[in-house]
């Protein structure tokens, strides 16, 4: 399980889990679950297109997830945010359907793009994944304070001169990069589970951001490692285990919060003003 | 028939049985999605709609395993998932998105497993593409009654709850004050959304069903702010996109590069996007004076 070609898998999966844990923390904090869900699903079309014209999958993923991020940012200023995300998503998926119908790929390849493939990772793929991962982590570190501020208290952030829109675009780009590197391993449809399950559990346990982020990385690592190990033995898709474990993490987090709520009164959680169309 | 018409409608379009079924089923499904979608968009539940569509793939792939029509699987799982989402869903929208996402993730995990079994244990290697991206030309005419029943249920729920839903979409507090059972109305609305996306899953695919649900409704929202008119626009746009999509897909059989035809889903999505952008530019001036949009766009 740890020999030969599996070594690459472990290295890449570890990088993916660390990045997903860190980026996912902000996904949960900002409540951008839909975007984090839509980008990978849409980026899948890029992978299909890349395999059609015969370039590296990672390039196709990168191009599509970046275009998706910018499209969501652009449309999001002009329409309701969830509608913008949904539209960007379906357009990319529509292209994906077209590329798939042109290509002569067999079902297993399509399937592994959608649901993950841990066994087919070559040595050449480690370097790009490591670089992209490092870029994501550094970007998050650099914009940590403004990102934190605009996520938790958008109004205060604006007052301090943090441009919410710019931060949003930067964050979307980081999300796009994280997506492109994680997609070949976990699969388009389930990266998102890895990005929100662990951080949601971590946030339920602690309120301190750095501790929560660390915990989120640890849980993400555990999730991926267990998923790969079990997937290796059962030969079942790795995505199944990632999705299930993430749901279990979330449930555990909810249970923990419920237990704690008996002692602590309501935590001060930032609520987004517009998410309730009701109150206008 | 003259030459210009012959160029638009490739020979056999009006006589082919699969095309008839596709037009009928696709039209009904688009109508339902357009109507239910209007409420989805007004209530800000696009994400729930998208997630339910994805989750319906779980049932779709399971139905391939046990050999029943995918529609049963699509509808069964997405209605169950809607129930789970409503149960664990937090009232705050931010928490709601998380809960939605987690249910979607778990559902898709199962779908991955079922599809894996589909491709390894049975000989249906095309199952992933059929389920995820749809196959409107392979709908059996025996499914039409089932589609009709599901459509009636979905539209029926929305029709009965028309006023309460409208009120609680505009202001939950006001609805509570007026004695609307907001919780039950919300749960039923989610069930209607689940039925609508599982219907679109058989025409344009499980992960693309969001297009028919959200696209036409979002376009209608650009065109008018009167609910009744919005419903009409949304339904008309959905049906138009589907029918044109079927027509183009039929014509594309002779197009390059493969000679296998382009997917219907692609055309439907592109047409919906075109309609949306047209409506965006058409409605831009009328909208300038109102400033409700910026407030909504903060909902990230």
Can you give the pLDDT of all 280 residues of chain A as single tens digits?
Answer: 666 667 888 888 888 889 988 998 888 888 788 888 888 888 888 888 887 887 777 888 888 888 888 888 887 777 677 788 888 888 888 888 888 777 765 556 677 777 777 666 777 778 888 888 899 999 988 888 888 887 777 777 777 777 777 888 888 889 888 888 888 777 777 788 888 888 888 888 888 888 888 999 999 999 988 988 888 888 888 888 888 898 898 888 888 888 877 765 554 454 444 444 443 3
Chain B residues within 8 A of A237 when measuring between CB atoms: 112-113, 115-116
Structural domain includes residue A251: yes
- ipTM confidence score: 0.79
Helix/strand/coil (H/E/C) assignment for every residue in chain B: CCHHHHHHCCCCCCCCHHHHHHHHHHHHHHHHHHHHHHHHHHCCCHHHHHHHHHHHHHHHHHHHHHCCCHHHHHHHHHHHHHHHHHHHCCCCHHHHHHHHHHHHHHHHHHHHHHHHHHHHHCCCCCHHHHHHHCCHHHCCHHHHHHHHHHHHHHHHHHHHCHHHHHHHHHCHHHHHHCCCCHHHHHHHHHHHHHHHHHHHHHHHCHHHHHHHHHHHHHHHHHHCCCHHHHHHHHHHHHHHHHHHHHHHHHHHHHCCCCCCCCCHHHHHHHHHHHHHHHHHHHCHHHHHCCCHHHHHHCCC
By Cβ distance, the residue of A86, A100, A111 closest to B115 is A111
* Short-list B23, B33, B261, CA closest to B136: B23
Tally of structural domains, chain A: 1
Crossing angle (nearest 10°) for helices B264-282 and B227-251: 140
Of all residues in chain A, the one with the smallest CA distance to B249 is A98
Of all residues in chain A, the one with the smallest CA distance to B134 is A97
Structural domain includes residue A280: no
Closest-CA distance of chain B to residue A124, Å = 27
Structural domain includes residue A156: yes
Structural domain includes residue A276: no
By Cβ distance, the residue of A41, A82, A279 closest to B299 is A82
SS3 A240: helix
* Short-list A202, A248, A206, CA closest to A226: A248
**CATH code of the domain covering residue A236:** 1.10.3470.10
Chain A residues within 8 A of B258 when measuring between CB atoms: 101-102
According to the model, what pLDDT value does residue A277 have? 44
Whether residue B98 and residue A274 make contact (CB cut-off 8 A), yes or no, is no
By Cβ distance, the residue of A35, A187, A275 closest to B93 is A275
Name the DSSP class of A208.
Answer: -
Going by pLDDT thresholds of 50, 70 and 90, the confidence category of residue B74 is: confident
Of all residues in chain B, the one with the smallest CA distance to A167 is B300
Whether residue A272 and residue B300 make contact (CB cut-off 8 A), yes or no, is yes
User: Cα(B204)–Cα(A209) distance, rounded to whole angstroms?
Assistant: 42
Q: pLDDT, tens digit, for every residue of A15-43?
A: 888 998 899 888 888 878 888 888 888 88
Chain A residues within 8 A of B273 when measuring between CB atoms: 87, 90-91
Structural domain includes residue A271: no
Q: Are B105 and A190 in contact (CB under 8 A)?
A: yes
Chain A residues within 8 A of B101 when measuring between CB atoms: 33-34, 36-37, 192-193, 196
Q: Which two tokens stand for residue B224?
A: 């008018």
CB atoms within 10 A of CB B92: 15
**B64, B132, B253, B300: best to mutate for the A interface, most A CBs within 10 A:** B300
User: Cα(A99)–Cα(A48) distance, rounded to whole angstroms?
Assistant: 6
Name the DSSP class of A119.
Answer: T
**DSSP string spanning A89-111?**
HHHHHHHHHHHHHH----HHHHH
| Nearby residues of B196 by Cβ (< 8 Å), 6 or more positions away | B32, B33, B36, B37, B49, B154, B213
By Cβ distance, the residue of B106, B211, B221 closest to A90 is B211
Report in angstroms the alpha-carbon separations of A118 from A71, A259, B107.
30, 37, 20
Whether residue B105 and residue A93 make contact (CB cut-off 8 A), yes or no, is no
- In order of their start, the domains of chain B are 12-281 (1.10.3470.10)
Q: Where are the alpha helices (DSSP H) in A206-280?
A: 209-234, 238-261
Structural domain includes residue A140: yes
| Nearby residues of B59 by Cβ (< 8 Å), 6 or more positions away | B70, B72, B73, B74, B75, B76, B77, B78, B198
- Domain extent for A129: 5-262
């Amino acid at each position: 399980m740890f020999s030969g070609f599996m070594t690459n898998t472990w290295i890449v999966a570890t990088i993916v889990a660390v990045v997903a844990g860190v980026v996912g923390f902000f996904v949960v904090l900002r409540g951008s679950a839909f975007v984090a869900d839509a980008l990978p699903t849409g980026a899948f079309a890029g992978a299909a297109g890349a395999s059609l014209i015969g370039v590296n999958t990672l390039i196709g993923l990168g191009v599509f997830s970046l275009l998706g991020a910018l499209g969501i940012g652009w449309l999001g200023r002009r329409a309701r945010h969830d509608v913008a995300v949904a539209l960007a998503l379906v357009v990319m998926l529509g292209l994906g359907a077209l590329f798939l119908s042109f290509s002569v790929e067999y079902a297993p390849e399509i399937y592994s793009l959608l649901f993950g493939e841990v066994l087919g990772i070559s040595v050449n793929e480690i370097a790009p994944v490591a670089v992209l991962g490092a870029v994501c982590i550094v970007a998050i570190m650099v914009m940590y304070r403004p990102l934190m501020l605009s996520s938790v208290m958008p109004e205060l952030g604006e007052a301090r001169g943090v441009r919410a829109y710019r931060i949003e675009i930067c964050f979307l780009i980081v999300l796009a990069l994280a997506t492109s590197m994680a997609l070949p391993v976990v699969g388009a449809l389930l990266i998102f589970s890895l990005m929100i399950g662990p951080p949601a559990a971590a946030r339920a346990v602690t309120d301190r951001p750095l501790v929560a982020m660390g915990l989120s990385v640890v849980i993400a690592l555990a999730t991926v490692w267990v998923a790969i190990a079990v997937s290796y033995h059962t030969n079942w898709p790795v995505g199944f285990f990632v999705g299930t474990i993430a749901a279990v993490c979330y449930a555990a987090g909810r249970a923990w919060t419920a237990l704690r709520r008996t002692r602590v009164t309501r935590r001060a959680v930032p609520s987004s003003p517009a998410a309730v169309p009701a109150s206008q | 028939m003259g030459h210009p018409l012959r160029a638009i409608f490739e020979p056999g379009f009006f006589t082919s049985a699969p095309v008839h079924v596709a037009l009928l089923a696709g039209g009904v499904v688009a109508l339902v999605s357009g109507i239910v979608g209007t409420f989805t968009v007004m209530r800000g539940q696009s994400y729930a709609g998208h997630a339910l569509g994805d989750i319906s793939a779980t049932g779709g792939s399971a139905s391939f395993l046990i050999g029943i029509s995918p529609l049963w699987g699509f509808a069964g799982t997405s209605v169950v998932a809607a129930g789970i989402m409503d149960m664990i869903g937090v009232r705050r929208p931010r928490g709601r998105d998380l809960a939605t996402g987690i249910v979607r993730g778990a559902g898709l995990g199962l779908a991955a497993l079922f599809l894996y079994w589909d491709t390894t244990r049975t000989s249906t290697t095309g199952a992933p593409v059929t389920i995820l991206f749809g196959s409107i030309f392979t709908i059996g005419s025996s499914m039409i009654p089932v589609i009709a029943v599901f459509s009636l249920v979905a539209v029926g729920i929305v029709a009965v709850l028309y006023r309460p839903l409208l009120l609680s979409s505009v202001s939950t507090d006001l609805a509570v004050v007026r004695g609307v059972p907001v919780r039950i109305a919300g749960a039923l609305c989610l069930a209607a959304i689940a039925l609508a996306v599982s219907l679109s899953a058989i025409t344009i695919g499980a992960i693309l069903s969001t297009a028919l649900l959200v696209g036409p409704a979002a376009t209608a929202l650009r065109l008018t702010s009167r609910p009744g008119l919005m419903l009409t626009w949304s339904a008309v746009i959905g049906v138009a996109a589907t029918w044109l999509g079927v027509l183009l897909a039929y014509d594309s059989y002779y197009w390059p590069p493969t000679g296998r035809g382009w997917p219907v889903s692609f055309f439907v999505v592109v047409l919906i996007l075109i309609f949306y952008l047209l409506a965006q530019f058409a409605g831009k001036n009328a909208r300038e004076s109102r400033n409700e949009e910026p407030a909504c766009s903060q909902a990230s």
